[in-house]
Structure 1
């Protein structure tokens, strides 16, 4: 229940007075509905179809003014009032429905923005601990289910208020009969309580299946080349058949629960109405007018109460989604990278001396003894090239994450820039002065121009082409059908780029930012020899103008580095210039020898 209360507070925070205005309007609808029912008595009495003594009904003296009119004129007046009330009721209902829709859709967007914003503000460790597919599942599926639960809650409020108004009218007519009916209704609710628990259980199952489905599909689409090349289509198809069958069964189960509860409710309702009529006549000696009105009220109430039952089942089904979204919001709040909001006006950091690691140690899981980095002492001089090498798993990328403005924060020791520790403001300033090119180049599914302008929105075409020229990408971009305006990607009519072409555009984007620090993480791994040589020559031309940190697998690409750092098992085991390390016995010389023999 705490999850419902949590989201009710968020609905209140989002909608404010609008929600309460809607509640008042719902009360107005309930009141108009009750008045409309009361008008039926003088209507029927005046029609002469049934002889009814309207004086038996409370508040019927309000309509005594009709006695001064002829029966025909009185009937016209009462019918006109009835039509006016129905029109007013439906116009008000339309307004409330639209406003509820605005609240629902607005709250969905509010949830999406808040949740996504909290994700962006989380530290890097949060993303290392959570599967990407799980986060995507929450942002796309679970928030929508949460919103469906919100809609069910608003429907429940509307039905509850109107029901209360009509029950109040029934009490005015006959407290004894109404009390008897309410006791029967409570008994019905208790019978159907087990269906709410079943709906909650199915909701939990659906959440787990949804996560497994999205994770599996994401993995298989990403690994389609391996699936086809290893003839794994049939095993993967078996998995897909199995999980879709489970999802089908869960949806059918929910329909079964829903229809069973409705069937129980309607059958029990019919029995109670029959018992009610008998008891009303035999025990309470109900008058015809009273009995007819109360029957009319409760015959209109049964479908509404059934709708309330349906809304409660839908809310129960949405509770696991509410729980997951609340859990994510709590987790992102606890892993918030900076306490203050991001300030885009922070000026990029100008590095004068360099970046220092002082006794920095880091491990991904603090409950385990293994460290990814241990006692790292390293100075990266400004406007020099520092190369970091080592075997796979040596800690190269982890070290880069520490250096790049605290993506990973050291457990022990600290990172300094120009001798000063990295405060949150200085971390933002450092990141604003840094460009990063990974071995897995990422481009948005939009034009080449927009992919470049994302880091420099005001850059002119001349600057774009200059950056592409630096990255040896200008020639192939000019040959594309729409040049800079060519869309990248398989959809939206975009073109597929090779790994090397994507890597060059990402490098151009990094240069366009005019960074103080350029980090190249295997940034030439997908390039052919000619383009790699061109880029290395371009990097040589900017040597001395900015700080360059290179992670390299091909050691031949770091000959001109000012210093080479060799990592093994999370520790620095060698450090020096390329030619010095290549002639000294050690890990670097062995790595170089293997590559020379292999080539």
Structure 2
């Protein structure tokens, strides 16, 4: 339960004084409900249904005496008006307390969602390499929803505790012996219910893991829907959804069985205790009607409170794994945090005057492995020139790019910007100076204009068209049904691969970066469009530093410098023709050998 207390502390810190107003409301509701007990005795006596001698119970005798001195009609009217006032007052406070609970719950849930999302985004790139993105989506959607429900249950638990303590106080005033007996059995039954709470927590943990697997699987399937349709793999994926669906169904049914079983046991025990109390009171103590009525009232008021406490604890037990999940995620994000709170818009991008340098750089993703992904990297990338990085798949090209962009920091050696080491102090300034275009272009399910404005929200329409023309995308955008305002579908599915790539390049150029990184960015373009992009890149030389990862020789023929990577090592650096000539000679030697 320490995880629940962790969030309880968070609710208290976030809500502040409003939580105390909520507590006062609970006390008032409980007091109004308790006062109604005292009005039952004179009301029953006045109706004549049952003759009640209130002197048998000293705690309520004064109420009976107060109404005996009044005319019967007046007493009945006063009692009914008081009772009506109590019901209205209780209903009014109950309504406001429910609204206040909802405000506390929803505000805290919103706060928790924003803080979790911020913590994830402020984590470094290494955090995302080690985790699965669908797990973060599951945490932000499913787990936070469950924690929201848990927050409501926690507030209900506080309400139940407040009501229970006040009801116990009132009941103890009426009949100490009876109250102590009910408390004893109630606490005993709650203690025995720990088994149900542990089982509920276990089922909750299984549900959390299944939810993560379900979301991950569905996301992967829809990301690869083209391969599924092309290769007729529908049946295997339908079989998967059937299997995991049955597991989720089984878990939910098991949770319901557990809850209903515990409630059934409570009802059986409740009925047995009630009948035992009445029988014991009549046979052993010859209880009078007033005493029997008080036994019924006290039992009917107190016992449901214990039942409610047990039910809340059991349901919280099922949600505890979600609390644990969010706590672990937050702690992990804090360990990997690379951005502190503050206005990033005030950070000025770095202007590279001379060069970016890697000096004796070593890097590996797992420090427990002996092999380095990159080793002894010593290169210089001149400013305002085009540098191409080539090599086989898995050679370490993308890892080198990640180091140059500050996504990863070297284990040994340094990355320097104009001689200044890249550290956490100037990392964001470097990122603000970079526009990155990946091999797999990412576009949001919105309009062309909204996708472009993502990079520069205050850009004018003229700037948008200028960027589109630079990226050889203006012509096809003009032909779209609504031009800039055309919806392009999920991940830009309504566009061809080449059109998506050109749109992403236009978005990168719109930022007017000092460093443009193209990671196989022209791989999806035909010869004509690639030629257009090459002309764009050529025109940008001298205005920004361009770094290109490419396999096509045509993509890098205008590069001022070519760096070849092989198995994490730099094997040659030089001009385009120099490097290509050496590669051809090496190929001829290997062939003749």
Partner of 1:369: 370
Change (3 A) 1:495 1:226: closer
CA distance in 1, matches of 2:409, 2:159: 51
- Matched ranges for 1:357-436 at <5 A: 357-404=358-405, 406-436=406-436
CA distance in 2, matches of 1:368, 1:187: 55
Deviations 1:53-105 (A, max 9, x none): 12333044256443342011111001101110111011100100011011111
Check whether the contact 1:122–1:336 (CA below 8 A) recurs between aligned residues.
Answer: yes
CA distance in 1, matches of 2:28, 2:135: 44
- Matched ranges for 1:340-351 at <5 A: 341=342, 343-351=344-352
Partner of 2:20: 20
Check whether the contact 1:45–1:54 (CA below 8 A) recurs between aligned residues.
Answer: no
| Local SS of the residue matching 1:424 | coil
Deviations 1:387-417 (A, max 9, x none): 000000111111111111x111111111111
Bigger drift between 224-233 and 213-222 goes to 224-233
Partner of 2:97: 96
Deviations 1:170-222 (A, max 9, x none): 11111112112222222322333221111111101101111111111111111
Change (3 A) 1:65 1:277: closer
Gaps of 5+ in 2: none
Question: Does residue 479 of structure 1 match 2:479?
Answer: yes
| Local SS of the residue matching 1:524 | coil
Partner of 2:527: 529
Change (3 A) 1:105 1:340: closer
| Local SS of the residue matching 2:177 | helix
| Local SS of the residue matching 2:516 | strand
Check whether the contact 1:173–1:290 (CA below 8 A) recurs between aligned residues.
Answer: no
Question: Does residue 292 of structure 1 match 2:290?
Answer: no
Partner of 2:30: 30
Check whether the contact 1:177–1:280 (CA below 8 A) recurs between aligned residues.
Answer: no
CA distance in 2, matches of 1:481, 1:343: 37
Q: CA deviation at 1:308?
A: 2.3
Partner of 1:441: 441
Question: Does residue 176 of structure 1 match 2:174?
Answer: no
CA distance in 1, matches of 2:189, 2:131: 44
Question: Does residue 189 of structure 1 match 2:187?
Answer: no
- Matched ranges for 1:199-278 at <5 A: 199-278=200-279
Partner of 2:118: 117
Check whether the contact 1:177–1:284 (CA below 8 A) recurs between aligned residues.
Answer: no
| Local SS of the residue matching 1:289 | helix
CA distance in 2, matches of 1:28, 1:340: 42
Deviations 1:417-456 (A, max 9, x none): 1111123342111111111101011112111111111222
Deviations 1:22-63 (A, max 9, x none): 112111111111101111111111222211012333044256
Partner of 1:572: 570
Q: CA deviation at 1:152?
A: 1.0
CA distance in 2, matches of 1:190, 1:217: 41
The CA RMSD measured in Å over matched residues stands at 1.9
CA distance in 1, matches of 2:66, 2:261: 50
Partner of 1:502: 500
Check whether the contact 2:444–2:490 (CA below 8 A) recurs between aligned residues.
Answer: no
Size of the alignment, in residue pairs? Answer: 589
| Local SS of the residue matching 2:395 | coil
| Local SS of the residue matching 1:584 | helix
Deviations 1:260-314 (A, max 9, x none): 1111110111001111112233445544323312311321333343232221111
CA distance in 2, matches of 1:235, 1:44: 70
| Local SS of the residue matching 2:518 | strand
CA distance in 2, matches of 1:150, 1:388: 52
Check whether the contact 1:133–1:218 (CA below 8 A) recurs between aligned residues.
Answer: yes
Check whether the contact 1:41–1:54 (CA below 8 A) recurs between aligned residues.
Answer: yes
Partner of 2:199: 198
Bigger drift between 315-324 and 272-281 goes to 272-281
Check whether the contact 1:36–1:82 (CA below 8 A) recurs between aligned residues.
Answer: yes
CA distance in 1, matches of 2:210, 2:531: 49
Partner of 2:326: 325
Change (3 A) 1:399 1:516: same
| Local SS of the residue matching 2:345 | coil
- Matched ranges for 1:549-588 at <5 A: 549-585=547-583
Check whether the contact 2:126–2:408 (CA below 8 A) recurs between aligned residues.
Answer: yes
Deviations 1:93-124 (A, max 9, x none): 01000110111111111110000000111000
Bigger drift between 49-58 and 544-553 goes to 49-58
Structure 2 length-normalised TM: 0.96
Partner of 1:597: none
- Matched ranges for 1:133-172 at <5 A: 133-172=134-173
Question: Does residue 52 of structure 1 match 2:52?
Answer: yes
Q: CA deviation at 1:226?
A: 2.2
Q: CA deviation at 1:233?
A: 2.1
Partner of 1:3: 3
Deviations 1:329-361 (A, max 9, x none): 010011101345453201111110111111111
Change (3 A) 1:490 1:428: closer
